[in-house]
Amino acid sequence: MNVMSVESTTMVAIGYDETREILQLEFCSHSVYRYFGVPVSVYEALVAASSKGKYFNGTIRGHFPYSLETDEAGRRGES
């Protein structure tokens, strides 16, 4: 999974696994969530969004199943 730092007041990093359609988001609180079944178009639009938090709330939150990652490997996208 490729993970990149982002400029946002909501999140610090975004990762995406295109093969498995997994979107990983690390929030400013350091909580890391993985969202499943996320199309590449949603990932690309999130990266391009001027307000990542607004895009997340309107398009991702509540629309895809997710899990909260708790280990350091998951936190850095190294699993």
- 16-64 pLDDT, tens digit each: 999 999 999 999 999 999 999 999 999 999 999 999 999 999 999 999 9
Query: pLDDT at position 72, please?
Result: 53
pLDDT band at residue 79, thresholds of 50, 70 and 90?
very low
The DSSP string of 6-43 is: ---SSEEEEEEETTTTEEEEEETTS-EEEEES--HHHH
Query: pLDDT at position 75, please?
Result: 46
d(CA 45, CA 24): 14
pTM of the model: 0.85
State phi, psi for 15 to the nearest 5 degrees. Answer: -130, 155
Q: Is the pLDDT of residue 4 over 90?
A: yes
